[in-house]
Homo-oligomer: A and B are copies of this chain.
């Protein structure tokens, strides 16, 4: 192992057999956390080439179980690199399923200032995110979609390595990130993937060039496993939607699906991602089909079916309401909304939702909006955060602000 660390440290590539041996030895305890942490830090500085990412991914997949969907010809999954008010999964999964392409979505929990789809769904009373393997597969076959927490049996080496990297400062590495994401996704058994790579101050990747590189690598490595994939690189500086919290984002997604909300930014990204997911499933006019599934209520009904299949009821979903205590926040000056700090808002909403799962923040403005002094700009639901906490997160300036594109690149 020391030799392998030194070779990587000195800028060499390790061959596939070595990566397999390292991960196997790590699983058995023959390689310990200290050696693995040193290797991961060396990789942070030296990176992995494509063959190395493929080998590491494969080794981590082989460390655990793999799901299979024998009764469905083509199942898609979708992954987001994490954002604030990122409700794309909640909306796109039932849309795609309603359009006829089954979705087997394995999701994570909140991480730092970013939300987790699992946490959001758990705000619906009765909703179960821990599905057994057979149950998950059966639901995908029967309902056409499921969103569940990834079982510990899938790519356990990745889970252990990620926890290690997280506490030893070697999370930033395109190669390690790709191997981590893809090992989980491959173990999840879907036949094609769409990756939503967020880019900006509130995303894991701040730099667009790096985000595009990550997106490209994800697609390239998936291809090496014969899994067609697409990637969308999208901006994540301001929150994607209007609501920030767990239950409040589920409410926003529900209301978007049933036509009671029409936020343009959410719509743009949901349609872009849905179209790519449908394209993988052989549907070329995906955007048109997705718009129709929304308009005709099929997407919402599929969402309800999924909610019911996972232990909750339509009534529980439809009676879900934001936490009662509300505080309206108003602009302290007139001007243009120049900046909405998604990191701060994400962290503040974590404080709110720790007291009530349907607490959170609802924005009334986006970057570029003109506001007058005294105009409502946000509503805070729940206790624990006041307007003064949020004041600095929404910046209003005299100068007009150009609105940057939401979708930065598609692959």
Q: A38 vs B42: C-alpha distance in the bound complex, in angstroms?
A: 8
A5, A6, A36, A169 — which one has the most chain B CB atoms within 10 A of its CB? Answer: A169
A164 at the B interface (CB under 8 A): yes
A79 at the B interface (CB under 8 A): no
Shortest C-beta distance, A5 to chain B (Å), equals 3
A33 at the B interface (CB under 8 A): yes
- Chain B residue contacts of A9, Cβ below 8 A: 41, 44, 169-170
Shortest C-beta distance, A60 to chain B (Å), equals 18
- Chain B residue contacts of A37, Cβ below 8 A: 34-35, 37-38, 41, 168
In contact, A38 and B41 (Cβ under 8 angstroms): yes
Q: A164 vs B38: C-alpha distance in the bound complex, in angstroms?
A: 10
In contact, A169 and B6 (Cβ under 8 angstroms): yes
In contact, B34 and A164 (Cβ under 8 angstroms): yes
- Chain B residue contacts of A164, Cβ below 8 A: 34
Q: Which of A30-52 contact B (CB under 8 A)?
A: 32-42, 44-45
Q: A38 vs B168: C-alpha distance in the bound complex, in angstroms?
A: 6
A167 at the B interface (CB under 8 A): yes
Which of B1, B33, B42, B45 is A34 in contact with, Cβ under 8 Å? B33
A2 at the B interface (CB under 8 A): yes
- Chain B residue contacts of A32, Cβ below 8 A: 33-34
- Chain B residue contacts of A45, Cβ below 8 A: 41, 45
- Assembly stoichiometry (copies): 2
Q: Chain A at the B interface: mostly helix, strand, loop or mixed? A: helix
Q: A1 vs B167: C-alpha distance in the bound complex, in angstroms?
A: 8
Which of B5, B42, B44, B167 is A35 in contact with, Cβ under 8 Å? B167
A5, A37, A170 — which one has the most chain B CB atoms within 10 A of its CB? Answer: A37
Q: A41 vs B41: C-alpha distance in the bound complex, in angstroms?
A: 6
Q: A40 vs B44: C-alpha distance in the bound complex, in angstroms?
A: 13
Q: A48 vs B102: C-alpha distance in the bound complex, in angstroms?
A: 54
Evaluate whether A2 and B34 lie within 8 angstroms (CB atoms) in the complex, with A9-B44, A42-B41, A45-B45 already known: no
In contact, B168 and A2 (Cβ under 8 angstroms): yes
Which of B35, B166, B169, B170 is A168 in contact with, Cβ under 8 Å? B35
Shortest C-beta distance, A38 to chain B (Å), equals 4
Shortest C-beta distance, A292 to chain B (Å), equals 47
- Chain B residue contacts of A167, Cβ below 8 A: 1-2, 34-35
| Contact flags A158-189 to B (C-beta < 8 A → 1, else 0) | 00000010111110000000000000000000
- Chain B residue contacts of A168, Cβ below 8 A: 2, 5, 34-35, 37-38
Q: Which of A45-64 contact B (CB under 8 A)?
A: 45
Minimum CB distance partner of A166 in chain B: B2
A9, A34, A164 — which one has the most chain B CB atoms within 10 A of its CB? Answer: A34
- Chain B residue contacts of A41, Cβ below 8 A: 5, 9, 37-38, 41-42, 45
- Chain B residue contacts of A42, Cβ below 8 A: 41, 169
A35, A37, A41 — which one has the most chain B CB atoms within 10 A of its CB? Answer: A41
Q: A37 vs B1: C-alpha distance in the bound complex, in angstroms?
A: 14
Shortest C-beta distance, A165 to chain B (Å), equals 9
Q: A243 vs B169: C-alpha distance in the bound complex, in angstroms?
A: 47
Q: Which residues of A contact B (CB under 8 A)?
A: 1-2, 5-6, 9, 32-42, 44-45, 164, 166-170
**Extra pairs beyond A32-B33, A41-B42, A41-B45 (15, CB < 8 Å):** A1-B167, A2-B167, A2-B169, A5-B168, A6-B169, A33-B33, A34-B34, A34-B36, A34-B164, A35-B37, A37-B37, A38-B168, A38-B170, A39-B169, A42-B169
Can you list 19 A-B contacts with CB-CB less than 8 angstroms, sorted by A residue number?
Answer: A2-B168, A2-B169, A5-B168, A5-B169, A6-B169, A9-B169, A32-B34, A33-B33, A34-B34, A34-B36, A34-B164, A35-B167, A38-B38, A38-B40, A39-B169, A41-B42, A41-B45, A42-B169, A45-B45
Q: Would you list the 8 A-B pairs with minimal beta carbon distance, nearest first?
A: A5-B169, A38-B168, A41-B41, A33-B34, A34-B37, A37-B38, A6-B169, A38-B41
